[in-house]
Amino acid sequence: MGVRLVVVDDHRLLAEALAAALTLRGHRVLAIGSPARAVAESVVGRRPEVCLLGVAGAGAPDAFEPLRRLRRERPEIAVVVLGPVGEPGRVAAAFAAGAAGYVRSDERIEVVERAIARVRAGEAAVAVEVLQGAFERVLRPVPEPDDDSLRLLRALTLREVQVLLRISEGQDTTAIAAGMGIAPSTARTHVQRVLMKLGARTRLEATALAVRTGLLARITRP
């Protein structure tokens, strides 16, 4: 017997493809929505039994706020989250927000369908490999140093690191372009990206931040 569904995803094409596949398997897709934050609006005036919610940015602090809202307003709808499983905190956050199931976003349609059947029956649905991956990360966590300079360094590309070094030396856009053998417009773009990633408004502020956090001390001039 088919299930009444609503499919919502940050990527519209993925939502439509999943909806089409489920329709072919005998389910009734009542609505397709995008982005994920529009999930509450997607069920207005409809009576789905299950909502499939694909969240591309599942690691963001407010990624599951739309899910919380849906659970407050329509608690009778069982929600299966489709998302990444690289971090166990994401899976836990989804269930904490009210999800009834969590399936890897690149999983086979058969697995998604089994999850739909389980949550419709009032059971929790989470793949064994998802739990295994979560427990593996919890039991053997990868140490992440609480280091602002390392965090900032990881945010910059190699080109941007080179630009930051030249900014710290007081070079203007023309000098940066000449020294790196790139067009002034390209140099200007790199400078803007460096400022944006460092959260700085000016070159002087970016330099001060790089010095204060120890970022410059980590960088050796190529």
Q: Tell me: the pLDDT tens digits for 55-87? A: 865 455 577 888 899 999 999 999 999 887 666
Mind listing the pLDDT tens digit for each residue in 86-117?
666 678 788 888 899 998 888 889 989 999 99
Mind listing the pLDDT tens digit for each residue in 26-62?
999 999 988 888 888 888 889 999 999 988 654 555 7
Question: Which residues partner with 125 through β-bridges?
Answer: 101
Give the 3-state DSSP-derived string for 137-162, with helices as H, strands as E and coil as C.
HHHCCCCCCCCHHHHHHHHCCHHHHH
- In this structure, of 84-88, 94-98, 161-165, 200-204, the range with the lowest mean pLDDT score is 84-88
Pairwise CA distance, residues 145 & 152, whole Å = 12
DSSP letters for 48-92: -SEEEEE-TTTTSTTTTHHHHHHHHH-TTSEEEEEE--SSHHHHH
Q: Is the pLDDT of residue 14 over 70?
A: yes
- Quick one: pLDDT at residue 125? 86
Average confidence (pLDDT) over 190-205: 90
Q: Is the pLDDT of residue 221 over 50?
A: no
| CB distance 46 to 71 below 8 Å | no
Give 222 or 7, the one with higher predicted confidence: 7
Residue 39 gets which letter from DSSP?
Answer: H
My answer on whether omega of the bond before 35 falls inside 30° of 0, hence cis, is yes
Average confidence (pLDDT) over 167-189: 91
